[in-house]
Amino acid sequence: MEIKWHGHACFEMISENGKVIVTDPYDESIGYPVPEVTADVVTVSHEHYDHNNVAAVKGEPEVVRGAGEHIIEGMRLYGVKTYHDTSRGAERGENTVFLFDVDEMRLCHLGDLGHVLEESQLRSIREKDIDVLFIPVGGVYTIDAKDANKVLEQLEPKIAVPMHFKTPPLRLNIKSEDKFLKGKKRVRRERKLSLRKGDLPEEPEIVVLDWRH
């Protein structure tokens, strides 16, 4: 599997057999160039302009929203209802955490998670061990570095990939990844991530991807 980060919460996951999943595509107003991507599946964690620009994705992708099980192109996706804030959605609405079973690995995209996970949510997400976790760390609209670390302890992924943090082109006023990374020893930076189930690390690590390819 190959994983590319296009900035913010938008990832492109390409399976071994060439199926493509794109998460949370954004529009150009946030500052990043809209990526040229063609997909089989697009997931939308919530209906905000920096996460739901489905029209920008080429091809005829199946668009997945909301909680529950979805079987598409031979891949299992599962959505878990969470919230965009600490007030059970009263401030910014609901958010869907998506789980993907692809190439014998489980990936988890937290979307704009705004709180530490509740026990019932945690049980749904942790039905199987998580291999790769895409986790927001920039705060303001999502969990910040402190709560991201709590969620990391809750989910115990083999690889955590930070997202939704400040970079030079981003116009949104959120924090960088620095505070989240502070004190962590197993951190590496990559342009993209190539994975096979048998090559996953024995000890958890953080991989910071570059939005520029």
Structurally, how many domains does the chain consist of? Answer: 1
**The predicted structure's pLDDT at residue 213:** 73
Query: Would you state the pLDDT for residue 113?
Result: 97
Domain that holds residue 118: 2-209
Compute the average pLDDT of residues 120-135. Answer: 95
Residue 179 has pLDDT above 80, yes or no: yes
What does pLDDT average to over the chain?
95
Averaged pLDDT for residues 74-87? 92
Residue 17 has pLDDT above 90, yes or no: yes
pLDDT given at position 90:
87
What DSSP string describes 4-59? EE-STT-EEEE-TTS-EEEE----GGGSSPPP--B-SEEEESSS-TTT--GGGSBS
pTM recorded for the entire structure: 0.97
62-80 mean pLDDT: 93
Look up the CATH number of the domain holding residue 146: 3.60.15.10
Provide the strand spans (E) within the chain. 2-5, 11-14, 20-23, 41-44, 62-65, 68-72, 75-83, 94-102, 105-109, 132-136, 159-163, 187-190, 193-194, 205-209
Mean pLDDT score, 10-31? 96
**Percent of the chain residues topping a pLDDT of 70:** 100
* Residue-level pLDDT at 69: 95
